[in-house]
């Protein structure tokens, strides 16, 4: 317990940061003056808590449990190293996704990346229908003006993704490309990214009050704050004792079910 407590404190205080490799069992046993079996038991406890992952042949690493949206970028870029690239996104506007995809798409244009296929699917809320959130502060009712503004933002970012991906196909740089948007009527309370069916990033949108001007008049709105959403990372390569593989599978099942049932094509 003492070894587990010491390692836990080191992880939570960022002495060991997300992605860092921990010292070997022998090194930890020497450091804490305990038997290797004691270290193994301590690591098992931290693994059960989801703080670390064991990777066969590589060692024990601090799990990348929480990353802000900027932390998504290297994972998106690494996803484009694969021969077949697939990205599924469910969320509010697609702004973050559009931003982090620019560099790998540029690398494809100049020939530094050569995937055989790219498949992008995006699930966003239907701006033609009333929303429960975001909503007006005074009466918690839908705001048509806000929806109109969000439609412009969604259109700008999601259609940019589609145009950029389809351009790669038109230029013959990627043999098989597909980029689609579907809309649904559910309130977008979280964001989800699925990368190559191997990694999932999930984060809740905090609800915050802020004032937006419509026709020159200030209007308080309860809005979803995407930039404050902390992302939790799950991977099928997590060790067998974790729930990473199960989470990715269930997230993919949820996305596919939404895509094939209650979602409809986005009208450009």
Q: For the segment 31-68, what is each residue's pLDDT rounded down to a tens digit?
A: 999 999 999 988 888 876 767 887 767 788 887 654 43
* Domains with residue ranges and CATH for the chain: 3-62 (1.10.10.10), 72-265 (3.30.870)
Q: How far apart are CA 225 and CA 205, in angstroms?
A: 6
Higher pLDDT, 264 or 227: 264
What pLDDT shows up at residue 68? 39
For 61-78, the pLDDT digits (tens) are 887 654 433 368 888 988
- pTM (2 d.p.): 0.73
Q: Which residues pair with 90 in a beta bridge?
A: 123, 192
Helix, strand, coil share (%) of the chain residues, nearest 5: 40, 25, 35
DSSP state of 16: S
In DSSP terms, 117 is beta-bridged to 84, 176
Of 112, 121, 117, 104, nearest in space to 162 by CA:
121
Burial of 249 (0-12, 13-18, 19+ CB in 10 A): middle
């Amino acid at each position: 317990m003492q070894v587990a407590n010491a390692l836990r404190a080191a992880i939570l205080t960022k002495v060991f940061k997300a992605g860092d490799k921990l010292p070997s069992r022998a090194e930890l046993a020497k450091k804490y003056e305990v038997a290797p079996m004691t270290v193994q038991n301590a690591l098992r406890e931290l693994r059960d808590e989801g703080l670390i992952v064991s990777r066969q042949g590589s060692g024990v690493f601090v799990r990348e449990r929480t990353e802000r949206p900027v932390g998504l970028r290297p994972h998106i870029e690494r996803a484009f190293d694969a021969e077949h690239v697939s990205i599924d996104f469910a969320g509010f506007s697609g702004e973050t996704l559009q931003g982090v995809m620019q560099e790998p798409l540029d690398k494809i244009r100049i020939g530094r990346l050569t995937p055989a296929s790219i498949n992008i699917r995006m699930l966003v809320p239907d701006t033609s229908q009333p929303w429960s959130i975001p909503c007006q502060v005074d009466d918690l009712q839908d705001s048509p003006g806000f929806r109109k503004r969000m439609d412009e933002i969604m259109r700008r970012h999601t259609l940019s993704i589609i145009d950029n991906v389809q351009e790669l196909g038109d230029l013959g740089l990627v043999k098989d490309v597909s980029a689609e948007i579907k809309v649904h009527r559910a309130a977008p309370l979280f964001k989800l990214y699925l990368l190559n069916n191997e990694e999932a990033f999930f984060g809740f949108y905090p609800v915050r009050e802020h004032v937006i001007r419509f026709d020159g008049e200030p209007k308080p709105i309860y809005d979803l704050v995407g930039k404050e959403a902390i992302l939790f990372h799950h991977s099928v390569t997590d060790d067998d004792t974790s729930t990473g593989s199960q989470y990715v599978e269930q997230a993919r099942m949820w996305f596919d079910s939404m895509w094939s049932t209650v979602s409809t094509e986005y009208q450009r």
